[in-house]
Amino acid sequence: MTLQELLRGKGTQVHTIAPDATLDDVVQSLMQHRCGSLIVCEGGERTRMVGIITERDIMRACAERRTPLSSYRVRDYMTSNPVTGSPRNTLDDAMAIMTERRIRHLPIVDGEELIGMISIGDAVKARHHLAEVENHYLKTYIHG
Ligand code: AMP
């Protein structure tokens, strides 16, 4: 299965935030959208991706300091130049990248355009579905 096929089922929505937003804004947005990461975009444009910020970065900020999250800017806690996947990568490629790089979120980029986001949860769900389908066909083959 390619990441393009995975996105066809999952959808292409990507939640974004500006670099000068605060970490409190990040927490509110993560809760509102029920997701674990936001792509940081300059100028509010989805195509100008400058970083990624995840719940892990919020945890780091909380551990480092004890002042309110509203006093910290996204640009100081985001990871610049995110590792990305291509729509032509396979599901196995994406799982290998996420495992090797120890990340749970992979923005999918086609040329210059951000076309979706795949989380480790999406990848596990898709892999489980493929295993179930394979299992079904193998049982049908064995039992006739
Ligand atoms: P995560 O496991 O995805 O919550 O992220 C763990 C750390 O890796 C955080 O510091 C993130 O900012 C960073 N991170 C997450 N996804 C990516 C990515 N695709 N490229 C680079 N860094 C990332």
> Which of 52, 59, 95 for a ligand 1 pocket mutation test, highest count of atoms within 8 Å of Cβ?
52
Q: Is the model more confident about 46 or about 124?
A: 124
Residue closest via CA to ligand 1's atom 5 equals 103
Residue closest via CA to ligand 1's atom 22 equals 82
What percent of the chain is predicted at pLDDT more than 70? 97
Label residue 143 by pLDDT band (50, 70, 90): confident
Q: pTM here?
A: 0.91
Q: For residue 102, what pLDDT is reported?
A: 97
CA angle (54 as vertex; 120, 57 as ends), nearest 5: 130
Of 11-25, 37-51, 101-115, 123-137, the least confident: 37-51
Query: Could you say which DSSP state residue 84 is in?
Result: -
Residue 11: which of 41, 43, 42, 35 has the closest Cα?
35
CA pair distance 76, 23, nearest whole angstrom: 10
Residues whose beta carbon lies within 6 Å of some atom of ligand 1: 36-37, 52-57, 79, 82-83, 103-107
Q: For residue 38, what pLDDT is reported?
A: 98
Q: For residue 44, what pLDDT is reported?
A: 56
Closest ligand 1 atom number to CA of residue 119 = 3
Give tens-digit pLDDT for 28-87.
Answer: 999 999 999 999 999 755 568 999 999 999 999 999 877 899 999 999 999 999 999 999
133 CA to middle of ligand 1, Å? 31
CA pair distance 47, 109, nearest whole angstrom: 9
